Amino acid sequence: MIRRFLLGAALASLALPALAQTCTPRVADSELVKPRTLTLSTNPTLPPMQFVNAQGQLVGMRVELGDEIAKRLCLTAEHVRVEFAAMIPGLAARRWDMINTGMFYTEERARLIHLVRYEYQAISISVPRGNPRNIRRLEDLAGLSVGVEQGGFEFARTRDILKELETKGLRPITIRPFDNFAVSFQALRAGQIEAAISIDSTGKEYDDRGDFTRAISGLFGTPINFGFRSKPLAEAVAVALTSMRQDGWTQRLFDRYGVKGWDEAYSVVGPN
């Protein structure tokens, strides 16, 4: 179902009902794609962080977080569903204002766009229910077919796992790249791959549901960040996050989803 929503989704969007704005927007319209609107891109294939529920609604922790940020900036949130590979090019092309999809921090990304870190995540490896191959360590993946979303941090770390196995003289894994995580898990369910890589929160969610077993977790822990073309918008979001931390809003949200928040000052890093 999620894949159906994603096909051709680069142009599709879901806007929240217009909010009665009783305050002055904290960001100039010149910094936004649409006046008085915060347009956020998301790849809704990572439950419980961002996903499409049975009613076709875009939900999850990062959706709630994006809505609250827009509210504190006196803007209306509009969420755009798009594959991850289109996120940064679309930002540069002014198709959205803010990448809100659980993007891992890397120095390469910090050279391209403005980033604000707000969360910590790590990588999990999911396998068929019951873990029939008894996978406990990375070495147990030797010779297996592993699925992962192409182009992102997780894909790069999967290639690192491949190199590590080869360095140890073990059989390499076969990396199967997919358009998004949902398709990767569909392939795991169908027996087309033997393991699927995602983030810890999603691996745990599928394990809790009884869909798959999370065999390995906590790999490559790294901050998660929002991405921006506009530095003034990034700075305004950092201020909003600071106020949300001060009144406890973010901590309540992170506690509800079992997520560790960024524990340093919210700041903008990026070009120049």
Indicate if 154 and 74 belong to the same structural domain.
no
Indicate if 114 and 136 belong to the same structural domain.
no
Q: What is the mean pLDDT of each run of 10 residues along the chain (272 residues)?
A: 38 41 89 98 97 96 98 98 95 98 96 98 98 97 97 95 97 97 97 98 98 98 98 98 98 97 97 82
Cα gap 58→47, rounded to integer Å: 10
**Count of the separate structural domains present in the chain:** 2
Pick the last residue of a domain from 221, 244, 261.
221
Contacts of 174 (CB under 8 A, 6+ apart): 144, 145, 146
pLDDT the model gives residue 42:
97
Indicate if 99 and 157 belong to the same structural domain.
no
Task: Return the CA Rg of the chain.
Answer: 19
Phi, psi (deg, nearest 5) at residue 172: -75, 155
Indicate if 77 and 149 belong to the same structural domain.
no
| Amino acid of residue 90 | G
Query: CB–CB of 246/184 below 8 Å?
Result: no
Q: What is the bridge-based pairing of β-strands 76-81 and 37-42? A: parallel
Pick the last residue of a domain from 221, 236, 259.
221
Indicate if 109 and 227 belong to the same structural domain.
yes
Q: Which domain holds residue 208?
A: 122-221
How does DSSP classify residue 261?
Answer: B
Indicate if 230 and 108 belong to the same structural domain.
yes
Indicate if 21 and 68 belong to the same structural domain.
yes
pLDDT the model gives residue 151:
87
List the structure tokens of 83: 């594959």
pTM of the model: 0.89
Indicate if 199 and 180 belong to the same structural domain.
yes
Indicate if 185 and 234 belong to the same structural domain.
no
Q: Closest Cα partner for 245 from 49, 237, 70? A: 237
pLDDT the model gives residue 21:
52
pLDDT the model gives residue 272:
73
Indicate if 147 and 90 belong to the same structural domain.
no
Indicate if 142 and 232 belong to the same structural domain.
no
Q: Closest Cα partner for 87 from 72, 111, 109? A: 109
Indicate if 47 and 34 belong to the same structural domain.
yes
Task: Write the CATH number for 144.
Answer: 3.40.190.10
Query: CB–CB of 173/144 below 8 Å?
Result: yes
